[in-house]
Every structure is written in C-alpha cells, then in structure tokens.
Structure 1
Amino acid sequence: MDLHYEVQGKGETVVLIHSGGADLRDWEFIAPQLAQTYQVITLDGRGAGQSPPLLEPANFVEDLRQLLDHLNLDRAILVGHSIGGQIATDFALAYPNRVTKLVLVAPGLSGFQFSPDVQQWFAQIKAAAPDVEKMVERMLDHPVYSVVMSSPQRDRMVEMTTHNTKRSFEWKTFEMLWAQPPTIDRLSELQTKTLFIIGTQDMADNLHVAELFQQVPNIRFAYIEGADHMPTLTHADEVSSKIIQFLTE
C-alpha cells in the first residue's frame, strides 16, 4: 500500500476521506473524538499530503478498496468530505456490502456540472499557475471559504492548501476516473444508511447537490448553522456529535 494513512483508536472501523486541496489534517479535530469509540483511519488521497503524486489517471475508489484490503477490512463506515464524499458515495455504489454506514460532509457528486461562476473561479485559480501563493489566494478568497478564513483555523487552512497546491506540480496527469454511468443518475440505487451534513453558508452548487441527494432512500440531513465548506475545521465538535449520534443509533 503506497498511500499514507494513520490509525488511532479501537472498535468498529471508520475511514475518513478528506476534501480537495486538503489532506488528513482535514480531520485533526474530529478523528480524536471518534477514536474514543472507534478505530479511525485517516488517509492522504493520492497526490495529497504524504501520498504519492498522480502518475496515471486516478481511481480513488479503487485506491480506497486497496487500502481496505491491505488492512484486512471486509467492511467499514465511510465518512467523506467534499471530493472525499464523492469517493465514498461511488465506493458505496460499487461495493455496497463493504460499507456499513455512510456519512457525507458537503460531498461532491460524480456527473454534477458546476455552475458557470464556479467554473470561472476554477479557471482563475488555474490561470495563476505556477505562482502557488497567487493560486492559494484565489482559491481561498471565495465565499465558500469565508467562514474558515475569518476563524482561528485560517492559518491552518492556508498552510494545508499551500502544501497540496505545491504537491499538484508533481502530478503527471490531472485525469480522474469516476463511476460510469455517473452517480448523479444512480442516487436512488444507493441503499446504504446515509447521513448528509452541510453548512448553511456553503455555496449554492453544493446546496443543490444536497437537494439531489434527497433521492437516496435511507438518508437524513443535518445543517450546520453558520458553517461554510469547511465545517470539519470550524465546527468540528458539532460535526463529530452528529456523526457519533448517527453511528450509535
């Protein structure tokens, strides 16, 4: 297994999958709380943190399967944030017998088309390359990060984003392989018991994804008042509490 991962705690296994531009530090305030009751696995996705760069098209779902196989885990609870939620959802559809419960924190969704405003934001970040400082500035100077950037976690967010932006220059490709047909067309097939958590100050596209997830048969929604796209950093106690309550039912 070439991915970097960390294990803490004992009990039923919970795997935490971080957001884009981040790494396992996304969970540094949540993992210890869950580890009081569960065996918690945090990992750096391929290309992030301390894991290897993308040298060929990334298949994050298969990376996750290989990690579970490496750890001899037949089943696990998956908790995914942003693109990590997209990975977790695709995994639960591909390997439903290996996921006991699913927690999605402001997840992405395979097949979802971002609005023109968001696509323009992405293009502005890319256009700033190779100036890492300017790329990070453009990425974080957006309403989706307004709460975390005015919080005590601002420096942590800048440091993590800068590290992983630098890492992206090691990549040989930016191609990512997602579920086919796209998950957006198959949400009604997701049978895993699911908790969907999102901040009320997240961007409109992500709140629209929440509406689409209402097609999932066994799902409940929890809204974090005053949180943007990073409730894992700014509202960690509230997120942890909602996860633990869901898992102990």
Structure 2
Amino acid sequence: MPASDGGRLWAERRGAGSPVVLLHGAGMDSRLWDAVVPELARHHDVIRYDARGLGRSATPGEPFSDVEDLRTVLDHFGVRQAALVGLSMGGETALDFALAHPGRVTALALVGASVSGHVWPERPELAAYDTARRERDAATLAELELAIWAAMGRTAPGGELIEAMVASNAEQRVVSEQHMVVPTARDAEPHLGEITVPTLVLHGDHDHPEIAVIARRLVADIPAARGETIRDADHYLPLRAPERLTELLLSHLS
C-alpha cells in the first residue's frame, strides 16, 4: 500500500471479528507473529505489517513517521478502531498512536515494550548498541541484537527464524532509522495516565532488565493496566512462548 510520503508498506489481513493490529520491533518484521496469527485470526480480524524499511516494506528515502504509517494501514483497510498489540518499538508506536488518536484504539497489549521519553540506563551493552545504530554498522548491530535481545539463543523456540529476521533486516534497518522522524514533543512516558483503554503489559523473564523496569512503570501509570511476566521468554516473546501469549491476548481482547 502507498504511504503518505510516497513510500510503500506491506501488510496482511486475516480472519474476522474485532480488528487487531500487530506491530513488531526494530530489526524484526511481521514474521515475529507467525506463531500467533493462526489462532488469533480464528477470533479476530488480524492485521500485521512490516514497519518502514523492514521485511517487505520499501526502504525509505525521505523522513517518515511510524505513527502516521500505522494510521495509513488502518485507513487503507477501512478500520476506524482497533486493538493494538505492539512489541518493543511496536509497543512504543502503539502508545504514541493511542495518545495521538485515542478514539481509534479499543485496547492495548504491550509486549516487552519501549516507551518514548524513557531514559535508559548507562550500561556497556546498551552503549555499544546505540553506537552501532548511530554509526550505521549493520553487522555489529545484528550481532548485538541477538546477544542482548535474543539472549536465550538459537536453540530456544523460534531461534532460527529470529536469526533469519535479524540478518535479513540489518542493512535496511540502519537506513530506515536515519529517516524516522520522532518529534521531541512525542514523549509518552509523562502522559501514560491519559490512556484509558484496557491495557495488558507483558514481558519475558529472560528479557533485558530495563524492559521489566518499563513494564512496572506502564502498569503503575496506565489506569486500566495489568501486567504479567512470561516464563521462558526473552525479548522475542511471540516466538519463544506463542501459546501462552496467544492465550493471554485472546482473554484480554475478548
């Protein structure tokens, strides 16, 4: 589908029922949801898409907004309101969209989510990760992505697909992130109390420690939020523990 600035986005729609949009994280693509979509689509109208410059979406050559891209996807399918399920960067986009367009969001599920405005701690692995992103060092960024965020390794469930996604998206990612426009005024963390829709906050017990810090903040500050820690899962939770995630999503979105 065409984006507002002339780019193109790839999306897939399956199932019937109330609309649910799945948003993946940075360096990933919509294959993150492969193990969740079949059962979720038995009960809901499920839309998933590749974020700009990742997966099958076109690499941007101009500035773009991830929030506007989400609006474009909803408008393309004629969906006025939807529940948003976002992991990591996708969770951040879902929160920002819910604050910008509250009437278009019926529920939130935030999985290992980041949040705009959060101040991350000064830790060596995070500093190296940020340096690789800033210097557009795709090879190093891919290595750090797996070391930090896929800590359970290749032998854990979904390991081969995780490695394939990270490898295939590494080069496009460093280009895409240079064009993403994130207004300084778009800090969600101070405004979490304005979110009124039912919100489920999930993270894996093997995720980076700061994700647990963010999850606690989300549960504490969003009035209609509840949280749960998922066992045997790192940041790639939908591939590590798909059955448990699907169960929780179906209950939350019912």
Tell me, which stretches of 5 or more residues in structure 1 are unaligned?
A: none
Q: Judging changes above 3 Å, is the alpha-carbon distance between structure 1 residues 194 and 127 closer, same or farther for their aligned structure 2 residues? A: closer
Amino acid paired to 2:11: Y
Q: Equivalent residue for 1:230?
A: 236
Q: TM-score, normalised by structure 1?
A: 0.91
From the superposition, tell whether residues 124 and 183 of structure 1 become closer, same or farther in structure 2 (CA, over 3 Å): closer
Structure 1 residue 121 displacement after superposition: 2.9
**1:36 aligns with one of 10, 32, 42:** 42
Question: Matches of residues 1-249 of structure 1 in structure 2 within 5 Å?
Answer: 1=2, 2-117=8-123, 118-123=125-130, 125-126=132-133, 130=137, 132=139, 134-142=140-148, 144-168=149-173, 170-171=175-176, 173-178=178-183, 180-213=185-218, 214-248=220-254
Q: CA deviation at 1:131?
A: 5.9
Report the Cα distance in structure 1 between the residues aligned to 2:186 and 2:133, rounded to whole angstroms.
28
Residues 124 and 138, structure 1, Cα contact 8 Å, conserved in 2: no
Q: Go from structure 1 to structure 2 and tell me whether the alpha carbon gap of 1:127 and 1:81 turns closer, same or farther (over 3 Å shift).
A: closer
Report the number of matched residues.
246
| Residue identity in the other structure for 2:110 | L
Out of 218-227 and 162-171, give the one that drifted further. 162-171
- Partners of 1:24 and 1:217 lie apart in 2 by 29
Q: Percent identity?
A: 30
What is the distance in 2 between the residues matched to 1:65 and 1:15? 11
Alpha-carbon distance, 1:83 to partner: 0.4
TM-score (structure 2 length as normaliser): 0.90
Q: Are residues 94 and 8 of structure 1, via their aligned partners in 2, closer, same or farther at CA, if it must alter by over 3 Å?
A: same
Contact 1:15–1:41 (8 Å) recurs in 2: yes
Distance 1:175 1:66, change over 3 A: closer
* Distance 1:170-1:206 versus aligned 2 partners, 3 A rule: closer
CA RMSD between the two structures: 2.0
CA distance in 1: counterparts of 2:103 and 2:138, whole angstroms: 44
Structure 2 unaligned segments of length 5 or more: list them.
Answer: 3-7
CA–CA distance in 1 between the matches of 2:10 and 2:127? 33
User: Does the 8 Å CA contact 1:148/1:228 hold for their aligned counterparts?
Assistant: no
Distance of 1:148 and 1:245 partners within structure 2? 29
Q: Is the 8 A contact 2:52 2:176 kept in 1?
A: no
Residues 53-84 of structure 1: per-residue CA shift (max 9 Å, x gap): 13233311111111111111110111101100
Change in Cα spacing, 1:146 to 1:181, as seen in structure 2 (3 Å) is closer
Deviation at 1:173, TM superposition (A): 2.7
Other-structure match for 2:5:
none
The change in CA–CA distance for 1:71 and 1:106 in structure 2 (over 3 A counts) is same
